[in-house]
Each structure stands twice: as C-alpha cells, then as structure tokens.
Structure 1
Amino acid sequence: MLTLDAHPLLDAVAFEATFPAPLSQLPSPDRGRTFDWYREVLERLGAVVEPRS
C-alpha cells in the first residue's frame, strides 16, 4: 500500500502497486534490491511506503 500526498490542499491518495511479472520472477536478492530501488524513488516523490499486511 502506498500513500501519496500530492499537495497540502488535496487528500492523500492510497493505492497498491504490483510489480511486473519479470521483476517478481527474479532471484530473491535481486528482487529485494529492485523493491528497495522502487521504494527509494517513491519516497523521494513523497510517498509513504507501508509494508503489505
């Protein structure tokens, strides 16, 4: 679940992200690095990345 605060005057937007199949089929260490890269980019864009429950 990702929460994006696009603008102080707008409500936060929450959505779930699904990684493309080729990324999800990578070996575990690569998959972990790929997720970390996505998370870092999204956090720089102002997203709050929450662990999926």
Structure 2
Amino acid sequence: MGGCSEQDGDFIKWTNSKEPQFQRLQKAGIPYIHRGTDILIPDNYREEAAACCS
C-alpha cells in the first residue's frame, strides 16, 4: 500500500486525504466517513480501498 492508511479500530484510516481519493471511493461504491482530512473506511472494504489508494 502507498502508506496512506492505518488501522483505527474496525476502520482503515486515510490521513491527509485529497479530493481525488474521495472521488475514487465514491466511484467504487465504497462507504466512508469523512473527518476533516481523514477518511475512515470499514475494514471489510480493505482490498477495494487499497486499490483506490494507489
């Protein structure tokens, strides 16, 4: 992974996320919680999120 995620309980947390990452998640249909510049993604979407991360 490109080092943009870390584990946060039942979520994967992306820090310092940029707009293109939000758009990739939306297009892929991955649910996420937006907190400031962080994105929390349910852990069961780990592989899909990793594809969007790169």
Q: TM-score range by the shorter chain?
A: 0.3 to 0.5
TM-score, normalisation: structure 2: 0.33
TM-score, normalisation: structure 1: 0.33
Which structure's CA Rg is the greater one? 1
The structure with the greater share of residues assigned to strand is 2
